Every structure is written in structure tokens, then in C-alpha cells.
Amino acid sequence: MTTRDPCSLSNYNAWYTKHTSVDFTIDFDAKQLRGSVVLQIESQTDKKSEEVILDSKFVSISRIQVNNNEAKWDVKAHTEPFGAPLHIAIPGGISKGELIHIKIDVQTTDKCSALQWLSPAQTSNGKHPYMFSQAQPINARSIFPCQDSPDVKCPFSFRLASKFPVVASGLFVGDRENHHQTASLGTETVYEFEQRVPIPAYLFAVASGDIATARIGPRSVVATGPNELVACKWELENDVEKFLEAAEKLVFPYRWGEYNVLIMPPSFPYGGMENPIYTFATPAVISGDRQNVDLFAHEISHGWSGNLVTNCSWEHFWLNEGWTIYLQRRIVGAVNGEAEFHFSALLGWKRLEDDVEQFGKDHEYTKLIINHDNVNPDDVYSTVAYEKGFHLLYYLDQLVGRDNFDKFIPHYFNKWAGKSLDSFEFRDTFMDFFNDMGDADVKTKIAAIDWNDKFYTPGLPPKPKLDTTLANQCFELANKWKDPSFEPSAKDVEEFTANQKLTFLETVQQFETPLSPERARLLGKVYNVATSTSVEVKTSYQLIALKSNDTACLGDVVEWLGHVGRIKYVRPLLRALNKVDRQLALDAFERHKDFYHPVCRGMAEKDLGIAA
């Protein structure tokens, strides 16, 4: 039987995981997780299958038992990018609906693509080591054998032993308020977590290190290094609960119990990872001005889109991220005013234009549904799923009317809660809902939708009319910089938000004729963006300086690449540096590569043309 996820080698159509339990020791000396995983798996077929096939990639397996009996098993040949399927014999099979328990003794290896181990020197206070996981999209299989597909969702139990406090993508079993303070640093302690809402393997998450917590809302804490705790608490305590409440009004009550945030070390490769219970977030959001907290409107939205309702394969990734961007912008609009919805959409459009240009407007990877046969989802990753997905939903919103679309939102998430779906099931859900509504005008409008065009046409979608009130000031200032005689003043940007500064800088980046090196340095100095506390703003300025071929900035860029590990910053900076001075770009990557997460490192190697 074939599955509908081309990125999984498992036979989950024949056997489906109903529960996963992990029991791991986090060994900082050996830099490995070791222990066991127990998979409770249900037979799905009338014709009895005599073999369970699981995804695995560079894991070390020592023993497998099926229902407490020794099992015959074989790890087949490794192929990129999906790994080595693990075949486990089930002699005689079992009847459809019956369960087996498979216990696998396993440990991770130094080729694990999901884990990053940080030395004390790589952490904020330099005292203790740190480790964290990043399993999305197909890296869970490098931690333990599993059905590593978003089409498979099940509850999880975690039992994790570590010398340092632990967080995981489940609810802590015990004293939730004080569990990070219960253990002495350096003394091995067992931490237990339960995730009762079914999740796919890519949402398995664990982190351990010198972690302290502080409350930032009635159902939320922030966890981070002790030195950063006060600043992180201040940055987040105003907005997290507001965003949760706005999301609940838009969809329905939050179903995960807690929404917590773990502020990661700088090498974390993403802005945020929507691990249930604990969002893992870049430290770049802690800018001291509460200007970057919109990230959490996005991660909170994943509590419905992606985590509760999930794309069945990475070919339909837009169902996770397009919906999440749409919900994020609705939340921010509800909290900060509708103009913010449009301003965020304009920022997103600019990033979509950049990625379409990077791939090429006719490239397969600029389609909404992308063929993933023998394709690593990391190679496809861009803003296309996020922004092109958003624009499909915004088009539907405008087509049927906001009031009508707001009735569809909770219907969709209720219908698919706890399940996974593809784009065609989304289409059918949308069409059925509005045909059943009985509004003749709406029926006529939706009948004219060319779904094949929406799903498979590469390049940019039609650009909608958006309110440019907040963006116009940014565009007007940028246009002034086209005149070499323009004399800037700090007053030009003193009323700008961080996002407005970013829009201004990104507009300058797009000038057909770059600024001269002298003008670029003047911009950085007068507007205080060269030394901004906002990672977004500082990085955007550096891209202007590199495009201007300002050799005076090169040392700063190389140093900065050793302080930011987020893919969003590392890739464009290395690509831009490569155009100015290839050898310096190669040297910078070589210098900092161990600082980067394996996912980020692999992408950068491909950008620089040095991938194995």
C-alpha cells in the first residue's frame, strides 16, 4: 500500500501509530540521547501485513521487542534525503484494529540532524552546556525510529533524565510552577511530560540547559537563561495573553492547556518553532522595545493551524503556514488595529517577491503545491508556503466577504481537529460549506474559482489591494534616498516603528542603483540602524551595505554571522557576502559553521555551492 506522504518511507497505511513513549537520558558528555521508545501501533488492513516499516536516519539501534518478545529487524540501505527504513518482522500479522507494542532500544549519533549540542561558551552565561531539538520537517527519524510523517498523529509520553532542567512538547507531570527549580544543576533528575493531544513526530521537542522560568500570563511562562529572564519577562508579559484571547475569539478556545515560550540560544535556526506547550523562539525577539512580539501571534496561531489541523505531507505545507500567517495578521489587526493587518501583508509581499526572484518565477518551488518526490523539504523551504498561502486565503476572504469567511474559520478547524488533510480536502471543505450556506451570490462566486490555477501556477499570485497608510511614509523616505543630495536627519525615522524601519530599509535594498558606500554608511549612522538592538533592522542594514559594496562593513558582517543563527538572517547575509568577496564568505562560514544548527548549516552549504 502506498501512502500520501512521499517524504516518509514508513508503511503507515498498513500500520498506524496510536501512542509514542520515549525514555531517554540526555548525555551531555557523549552528546547523545539514549534509551528506548515504545510505539503502540494498530493494524490498518484486512490483509494482514507481516512487516512494520519505520523511518530512521543515522540512529543506532541495539534491540527491538514486539509485545515483549525479541523481534527480527533489518535497517535497509541509507538513501538521501529520507534515510534508512527500519523493517520489523511481525510473523503472521494481526487483524485490522488490533495493537502491537514495539520497544526499540536506541541512541542518537553524531550525524543526528535534529539535535544541536552547545558548549558552555556558546551559551549566554558561559557556565553550562545546552541542547535542543528541531525535528521539523523530517528530522524526528534521526532521534528515534518512527512514522515520520505529518499524516500520522498520536499522543506522546516523555521521560527525560538530565543534569539540567528540561522542557518538552508536553505538559509537565508534577509541580508545573516550580519544576525548573526542583533540581540542582549538575544532578541528574528525571522529568516527565504528557502530550494528550495527538501530534505528528515533527512536533516532538526537547531542550535542556541552565533554564529558569517566569510567569508572563495566566496560562503562560517564559523559560530562558537566568541572566535573560527579567528582560524576557518584560518583553512578553504585555502581549501573549492578548494574542491568545484574540485567537480564541476568531477560532475557538485553545485546546493545549498551556502556552509557554522558550527563548533559545542564538544558534536556533528559526524565528519560532511551534512545538506544543513550548514555542521555541529566537532570542532576536528580545529587543528591549516590545517591537518584535508579533512573532508570538504567529506561533500561537499554530495552536490551531499546523498543530491541531495539520498538512498531511510537506507538499501541502501552505495549509500549515498560509493559515497561520492569515490568523496571525487577523490577531494583530484585532489587537493593534486593522492597518497593521495590511502593513504586515505588505511586508510579506516584499519577502515573497524576493523568494520568487531567488528561485525564478517559473520554478516548481514557487507553486503552492510542490512535488516532493525525492526532494528534501528543507530545500523547498521559503516564504512561498507562508505568503502565497496567505494570499489564497485572503482572496477567499474577500471573495465571500469577511463576515462569511469568519463563520468558515471555526467550521474548518472543528472539522479537521486532530487530523491531517491535503489541499483538495481543504478545497472540498470550503466549497461544501459555502454551497450549504445557500447564498446564491456566494455560490456563483465560488463556482468560478480556478483551483488548479491557485494550486499549481508558479510565481507571484495577483497582488490584492492593500491599505498602504503605514507603508507610505516608508516608501516616501526611501524615494528621497534616490537623490544623492538628500540630507537625512534622525527625525526622519523617530516616529517609525521597528517594522516601518524595516520596510524602509528593505525598499532601499531593492534600488536598481545601489547607494554608494559613503551614502550607505551615512544612512546607518544617522538613523542608528547599523548598531540597532533589533536583529531584523541591523541585518537589513547590513544587506544594504553589502549591496553598496561597502568594504568597511565586511568585518562587522563576518562578526555578526557568528551571533545570529536564524536561517532568515544567515542565508541572505552569506549570499550577499559571497557576491562581494567569495573567499571571505567561505572563511566566515568555516569559522562559524559549528555555531549553526545542522539544518541551517546544510542550507548555507548549498547556497555557497560547497555541499557534499
298 is in an annotated binding site: yes
How far is it, in rounded angstroms, from Cα 16 to Cα 63? 21
The reply to whether 386 belongs to the active site is yes
131 is in an annotated binding site: no
The contacts of residue 337 (CB under 8 Å, 6+ apart) are: none
| Catalytic-role residue among 299, 315, 340, 387 | 299
321 is in an annotated binding site: yes
DSSP label at residue 372: -
Secondary element (H or E) of residue 433? helix 423-437
Joined grid coordinates for residue 127: 557556565
Strands 99-107 and 420-421: unpaired
Q: Phi first, then psi: what are they for 475, rounded to 5°?
A: -65, -40
495 is in an annotated binding site: no
Taken as a whole, the chain contains a residue count of: 612
568 is in an annotated binding site: yes
136 is in an annotated binding site: yes
Cα 120-125-129 angle, rounded to 5 deg? 25
The reply to whether 425 belongs to the active site is no
Joined grid coordinates for residue 140: 524526528
271 is in an annotated binding site: yes
269 is in an annotated binding site: yes
272 is in an annotated binding site: yes
How far is it, in rounded angstroms, from Cα 231 to Cα 178? 20
122 is in an annotated binding site: no
The contacts of residue 380 (CB under 8 Å, 6+ apart) are: 314, 317, 365, 370, 372
Q: How many helices (H) and strands (E) does the chain have?
A: 19, 22
111 is in an annotated binding site: no
Residue in 202, 87, 78 with CA at minimum distance from that of residue 139: 202
How far is it, in rounded angstroms, from Cα 51 to Cα 77? 17
- 3-state DSSP of 30-83: CCEEEEEEEEEEEECCCCCCCEEEEECCCCEEEEEEECCEECCEEECCCECCCE
Q: How many CB atoms lie within 10 A of CB 22?
A: 23
The contacts of residue 34 (CB under 8 Å, 6+ apart) are: 24, 25, 27, 106, 107, 108
| Catalytic-role residue among 16, 191, 386, 412 | 386
Q: Which residue has the cell 542603483?
A: 513
258 is in an annotated binding site: no
370 is in an annotated binding site: no
Q: Which residues are part of a known binding site for Zn(2+)?
A: 298, 302, 321
Q: Which residues are part of a known binding site?
A: 134-136, 269-274, 298, 302, 321, 566-568
Q: Which residues are part of a known binding site for a peptide?
A: 134-136, 269-274, 566-568
* Residue numbers annotated as active site: 299, 386
